[in-house]
Amino acid sequence: MSNSSGPLARTRSSDPDNNTDNTGLPFDSVVESDELGYLSYRQLIWKRLRKNQMGITAAIILLISYMIALGANFFAPYHYNQIQMRYRHVPPQKFRFSLRHGLHVYGLKSVRTPETRELVFTPDEIKIFPVRFLYRDNQNGLHLLSSDGPMFLLGTDRMGRDLLSRIIYGARVSMTVGLAGVFISLIFGSILGTISGYFGGWTDTLIQRAIEILLAFPSIPLWMALGAALPAEWSSVAIYFGITVILALVSWGGLARQVRGKVMAYRELDFVKAAEAAGASHWHVITRHLMPGSYSHIIVIATLAIPGMILGETALSFLGLGIRPPMTSWGVLLEEAQRVTVLLHYPWLILPAIPVLVVVMSFNFLGDALRDATDPYAD
């Protein structure tokens, strides 16, 4: 959807100020009230998208989430690996407000339960720690909100690390895995899909058979097998890229099929035939005539493929086959909640599931809205 604007736009004037459309006739002689006639393809999509409130809300939520992930060290109250062994498994604390102290949190006092000899934390109402905006600590720089005392809004894990901070930092991995994975599978998918659809014949058969075999594997067991194959001595960054590639490897097939379908439909059209007759090279026809037409379609498929990848990473890390500590992701955080006994004692450990749901749902809504908006038969 970049510079050129698809076959649909070409039938209409691309310049709204120009008073003729490409029939060469003055506009008023064609259609009088057809306001859509003035709009380029991109403007049309934007106009339809704007009307879809769910889609726009989803887009805004995603934008905010990505901004928070990007500025994780500012938005998170602590560093994600700041271990405070004193505060293990602290339940979520609440913000308090009073006129005298402003926004504050209570300190924590711990009691050992007589039966299990386990430390249980309760708010200590005598100790009051004001919550400061733009808090500067000497190690990690500026934080949006933090406090001198313990401020664990979503509780802590078994090593006393702040869950909220870990969720915010985890977003970096979880939310980019989907994007990077889709990007790779887009490249694979559109190249192979275009080749398959454009050249046809035995190339097409070969690629289609390969995709069929790929799709014949159940995805999670296949991810598990590939995830287990990542060498143990790799650094967590290498693992991150490994996971991305694995997610992409398994999912490019479906995308390639869709692109192939589009390309096959377009290549029978007159403008492609005309280009071929005029002696255009395969490369020229593919890049100038076929790909621009599939852009909008590809973007929709890509958007709808992201949630699957995010869930894939979450599932893999959840099983201990994905992202490895010290790197953190939502799946890594949920791994701690895997055992029911843990979850029953420390129910807040399941909270990382919420951002997963919100982000996945937002992508689904956005993808759906984009699909509606790019549908040429919508109006």
Other Cβ atoms closer than 10 A to 53: 10
Could you say whether residue 212 binds another protein (CB under 8 A)? yes
Q: Which residues pair with 129 in a beta bridge?
A: 105
CA distance 98 to 271: 71
CA distance 105 to 150: 8
Considering the complex, state which of residue 110 and residue 219 has its C-beta at the smaller distance from another protein.
219
**Contact in structure between 14 and 6 (CB atoms under 8 Å):** no
**Contact in structure between 267 and 280 (CB atoms under 8 Å):** no
CA distance 47 to 41: 10
Reduce the DSSP state of residue 25 to 3 states and report it: coil
Report, in Å, the least distance between residue 362 CB and another protein. 9
Could you say whether residue 319 binds another protein (CB under 8 A)? yes
Considering the complex, state which of residue 114 and residue 231 has its C-beta at the smaller distance from another protein.
231
Pattern 248-287, another protein, x by CB under 8 A: ----------------------------------------
Could you say whether residue 364 binds another protein (CB under 8 A)? yes
What is the total count of residues that contact another protein (CB under 8 A)?
A: 41
Other Cβ atoms closer than 10 A to 196: 25
Of 30-38, 189-197, 294-302, 361-369: span binding another protein (CB under 8 A): 361-369
CA distance 177 to 313: 7
Residues 216-245 that bind another protein (CB under 8 A): 216-222, 224-226, 228-229, 231
CA distance 62 to 73: 19
Considering the complex, state which of residue 2 and residue 341 has its C-beta at the smaller distance from another protein.
341
Sites of contact with another protein (CB under 8 A): 209, 212-213, 215-222, 224-226, 228-229, 231, 307, 311, 314-315, 318-321, 334, 337-338, 340, 343-344, 347, 350, 353, 356-357, 360-361, 364-365, 368
